[in-house]
Amino acid sequence: DQQVKQNSPSLSVQEGRISILNCDYTNSMFDYFLWYKKYPAEGPTFLISISSIKDKNEDGRFTVFLNKSAKHLSLHIVPSQPGDSAVYFCAASGGQGAQKLVFGQGTRLTINP
């Protein structure tokens, strides 16, 4: 039973355009959400997070939006750059911190020049 789902295995975007990565969850107890980015041959690195008391969090070119009623979050990257090409994982937690993180399947983002 996949509690966190990233339904798009891959996404291709032109350089300079907006990239939108989506994530859906089923567990209404989740109250903290994170995005990790993974390059080939490297471990995931933390990108951005959002608490359920907010509906938006911004960090430079990266913005995460949370729609609690739809149980949906999205990561926007504007403008997209070639270095953003990576696999992006969303993760959710329900009050117990890092040890209870549930990850999605990942979306491979390719930025085309």
Q: Which of 26, 51, 67, 81 binds another protein (CB under 8 A)?
A: 51
Q: Is the dihedral of CA 104, 80, 37, 42 positive or negative?
A: positive
Cα dihedral value 74, 80, 85, 88, nearest 10? -10
Q: Which of 19, 24, 25, 34 binds another protein (CB under 8 A)?
A: 34
Q: Pick the closer one to another protein by CB: 99 or 113.
A: 99
For 10, 12, 56, 97, the CA distances from 30, given in Å and listed in that order, are 25, 29, 16, 10
Q: Pick the closer one to another protein by CB: 77 or 87.
A: 87
The residue type of 48 is I
Q: Which of 10, 14, 28, 96 binds another protein (CB under 8 A)?
A: 96
Asked whether position 70 contacts another protein by CB under 8 A, the answer is no
Q: Which of 60, 83, 97, 113 binds another protein (CB under 8 A)?
A: 97
